[in-house]
Homo-oligomer: A and B are copies of this chain.
Amino acid sequence: MLDRIIGPRRTRQFQRLLRNGKVTLLCLVLTIVVLRGNLGAGKFGTPEQDFKEIRDTFYQYRGKRTEPRRVLEELQTTIETTSSAETTNNYAEFDINKLFVDEEDDVKKNPNEPYSIGPKISDWDEQRGEWLKQNPNFPNFVNPNKPRVLLVTGSSPKPCENPVGDHYLLKSIKNKIDYCRIHGIEIFYNMALLDAEMAGFWAKLPLIRKLLLSHPEVEFLWWMDSDAMFTDMAFEVPWERYKDRNLVMHGWNEMVYDQKNWIGLNTGSFLLRNCQWSLDLIDVWAPMGPKGKIRDEAGKLLTRELKDRPVFEADDQSAMVWILASQKDRWANKVYLENHYYLHGYWGILVDRYEEMIASYHPGLGDHRWPLVTHFVGCKPCGKFGDYPVERCLKQMDRAFNFGDNQILQMYGFTHKSLASRRVKPTRNDSSNPLEVKDELGLLHPAYKAVKVSSS
């Protein structure tokens, strides 16, 4: 077999050398290891493992009177096995699809079985109330004016179909981490599809329900799309305004209840109270979601019933408009359609004005002057096609990110060189008395994060 590698004549020469001394074999081994090339610093890594393997093979024969051919055959097998295990170290050459376990879709459930998002619960307020009483060290209010909030977002467990999609998901979650750290809000980033029937935009429903029921200490769950970014780091949601409400979405009463306009509200960023009412709403909301015939037919109904809705399968936002408009008496009194600040802000009318905002206003306003949220609806950077030109979307997402990031960086004395630039520059000289530096926006130690100090 060695013939095939180095030719028959050299094999005979080699065999002669081998008969003459084991040192020859040792040289061969060393040559092979060196010739494998630079595999880097491998702390306990591959080069050492390889060497160990080949060395072990050698040592098996050291001192034995073994026929040289057999030694060579065994050595060659070791070399071939090690080499065939080797794949490229070059990420550009690697086909990512090799990683994906051949995963077929889940077997479709019995179509005659009606969809259920979970067993009916009718006494959640009582269950939760009892739990909170038993667990005073997990209060649902973190201070008298501030409910405990869990921000929930997420994305697919698969890499994005286009190369930059994941980079923007990464920037988006960093943006949310920054806002939530400042505002004392916890984050749940979901990458699991809990219910195969409720894929796509409907996936948030089983997730939200599961989180509400698992975290009775959470008072409000804040759902936020992965394509929405915080652009006002200083704005605190006016929780007091919603003390008698269970669902807060950006929208307009007239557009929902009068016009039934499919964009009369937005479900890309909303607040949902942890209570029985919300479970009941989810039970009414979910049935349009199951993928396939149900979702398609529901889509046709929604296009028919709602104003301006294009033709496509049912989505959670249209379903919400339809539910509120057609069951107003049941739900409206606990729903707040907020339009005094941008709980959701459509990017198209905001992103070209950032410089104007910087010139004329300041963080903390949350509204058209300095939007709390800039939401890149329709851009779909994780997919192949968006509803808008790619360049516009990505450029503006960079600008929105930097607009928000500047408010974080200014705490530390930095800012982006421009809204288009990834690079930062200092805004002040470092000080040897850093605690005397004025914290302009008051974001380093904001009041809503202060813990209550018991008077001694």
Contacts and interface: CB of A to CB of B under 8 A. Distances in A.
B431 A214 contact: no
A194 B414 contact: yes
Interface string A78-112: 00000000111111111010111101000000000
Interface string A346-369: 101100000000000000000000
A188 B390 CA distance: 30
Given A121-B432, A444-B215, A451-B137, A43 B163 contact: no
B386 A89 contact: yes
Interface in A175-216: 177-178, 181, 186-189, 191-194, 210-211, 213-216
A10 B442 CA distance: 67
A124 B56 CA distance: 56
A348 B45 CA distance: 7
A145 interface: no
Interface string A153-168: 0010111111111110
Q: How many copies does the complex hold?
A: 2
A66 interface: no
Contact of A87 (B173, B213, B390, B411): B390
A105 to B, nearest CB: 10
Contacts of A385: 89-91
A454 to B, nearest CB: 6
Contact of A432 (B120, B187, B412): B120
Nearest to A430: B118
Contacts of A98: 391
A433 B127 contact: yes
Contact of A103 (B127, B155, B192, B421): B421
Interface stretch (A245-253, A284-292, A294-302, A375-383): A375-383
B91 A386 contact: yes
Interface stretch (A15-23, A67-75, A319-327, A392-400): A392-400
Contacts of A100: 422
Interface string A41-55: 111111000000000
Contacts of A159: 163-164, 167
Contacts of A217: 445
A94 B390 contact: yes
Contacts of A214: 411-412, 434, 444
A80 B239 CA distance: 49
B91 A398 contact: no
A391 B163 CA distance: 18
Interface string A424-456: 100000111111000000001100011111100
B389 A86 contact: yes
Given A43-B378, A434-B214, A445-B135, A423 B193 contact: yes
A178 B191 CA distance: 12
A425 to B, nearest CB: 9
Interface string A26-49: 000000000000011111111000
Give me the 6 closest cross-chain CB pairs, A-B, nearest first. Answer: A40-B387, A91-B162, A166-B166, A137-B450, A157-B422, A159-B167
26 contacts: A39-B387, A41-B312, A42-B378, A44-B346, A87-B390, A87-B391, A87-B392, A90-B390, A91-B161, A91-B164, A91-B390, A92-B384, A121-B434, A137-B451, A137-B453, A138-B445, A138-B451, A159-B164, A170-B170, A177-B189, A181-B186, A192-B405, A192-B424, A194-B412, A213-B434, A216-B435
